Amino acid sequence: MTTPVWPATLPQVLRFPIAQRRQSGKLRTETDTGPAKVRRRFTARVTEYPGASIQATGEQKAIFDAFYDDDLGGGSLAFSWTDPDTRQPALLRIKDEPEADLIRPGASQAKRLWEISFTVEVLP
C-alpha cells in the first residue's frame, strides 16, 4: 500500500498564525528529597500544529473531505506533504476530526469559502 499524498488541488501551505507544540520525550520522577530525576524516554518525538487551517472553496472542501474519509481512512493513516516549519518533505497525520466553518456563503459550491481547521502531527 502506498502512502497517500496531500492533493495538489488543495492549498499547499497552512494559514498563519501557526502554533507548534513538541511532544515531551522525557520521563520525570519526583523524589522524596532533592531535585526530581529526569531521563530521556525516547528520541522519536511528534511535533503537533494545533489549530492548523486552510481556506478552501466548496470544490476544495469536497476534495479535502474525500481525501480525509477515503484516502486517509477517516484520519487513521499518515500522508506525505511538507513540514509546516522546515518546508521539507515529511510524513504527517491529522490528529483530530477536522472542523469546517463557512466563512463566505454562496448560491453555488464554487462561490462558497470554508475555513477547515485540524491538528496535524509531523511524524518522526
Q: Is residue 40 part of a domain?
A: yes
The residue range of the domain holding 66 is: 21-122
Q: Is residue 34 part of a domain?
A: yes
Q: Is residue 12 part of a domain?
A: no
**pLDDT the model gives residue 13:** 87
Q: Is residue 82 part of a domain?
A: yes
Entry pTM: 0.79
- 121, burial (CB in 10 Å: exposed 0-12, middle 13-18, buried 19+): buried
Q: What is the pLDDT of residues 78-120, one digit of tens each?
A: 999 999 888 999 999 999 999 999 998 888 877 889 999 999 9
The count of domains in the chain is 1
- Is the pLDDT assigned to residue 38 strictly greater than 80? no
Q: What is the pLDDT of residues 55-77, one digit of tens each?
A: 999 999 999 999 999 999 999 99
Q: Which residue did the predictor score with more confidence, 44 or 36?
A: 36
pLDDT bucket at 24, cuts 50 / 70 / 90: low
Q: Which residue has the cell 488541488?
A: 9
Cis? peptide before 4, omega within 30° of 0? no
Lowest pLDDT segment from 3-7, 23-27, 61-65, 66-70? 23-27
- Rounded Cα distance between 51 and 17, Å, is 9
Q: Is residue 118 part of a domain?
A: yes
